[in-house]
Structure 1
Amino acid sequence: MTLTDRQVCLLRSARAWVAEYGEPPSMRELAAAAGISVSTVSYQLKRMWEQGVAIETRGRPSRRCPHCGR
């Protein structure tokens, strides 16, 4: 699993958001924090999900099992 620079930026932005606000960011908030468009965030999150890296956002199901977290 190799993440691109943009994907690493999204991951760091999402972690920083959760650390500061205690909840996952929305797609728009994540896009603003990373300095990219919402469509780019959506595309990158989908690619990351396919690689096994899930970033949860508000307003969208996380696709994780509520019991085991996978």
Structure 2
Amino acid sequence: MRALTETQERILAFIRQTITETGVAPPVRQITAGAGLRSRATVHYQLGQLKAAGRLRHEPGRHRSIRLT
């Protein structure tokens, strides 16, 4: 498994924290703010990279369907 970037680590930490606190994954807009990013496109790209790396799963077409692996 390849090493994660600092941005990917921040995104995963925020998702993990939100799921722990609320029981559901945060929406992309909330991930963007919570990870200290400015662009939702960046979050979408990084989520794709994390999915390809096997660090999370996502059901296309479903909101808040991110699951950590």
- What TM-score comes out, normalization by structure 2 length? 0.76
Structure 1 position 60, deviation (Å): 5.8
Candidates 39, 60, 63, aligned match of 1:59: 63
**Structure 2 residue aligned with 1:67:** none
**Structure with greater proportional strand content:** 2
Count how many residue pairs are aligned between Structure 1 and Structure 2: 64
Candidates 42, 45, 48, aligned match of 2:50: 48
Q: Would the alpha carbon gap of residues 16 and 38 (structure 1) be closer, same or farther in structure 2, given more than 3 Å must change?
A: same
Q: Would the alpha carbon gap of residues 25 and 56 (structure 1) be closer, same or farther in structure 2, given more than 3 Å must change?
A: farther
Which structure 2 segments of 5+ residues have no match?
A: none
- Calculate percent identity across the aligned residue pairs: 34
Q: Would the alpha carbon gap of residues 19 and 3 (structure 1) be closer, same or farther in structure 2, given more than 3 Å must change?
A: same
**Structure 2 residue aligned with 1:6:** 7
- What TM-score comes out, normalization by structure 1 length? 0.75
AA partner of residue 39 (structure 1): A
Q: 2-side partners of 1:61 and 1:14: how far apart?
A: 11
Q: 1-side partners of 2:34 and 2:64: how far apart?
A: 18
Structure 1 position 61, deviation (Å): 5.2
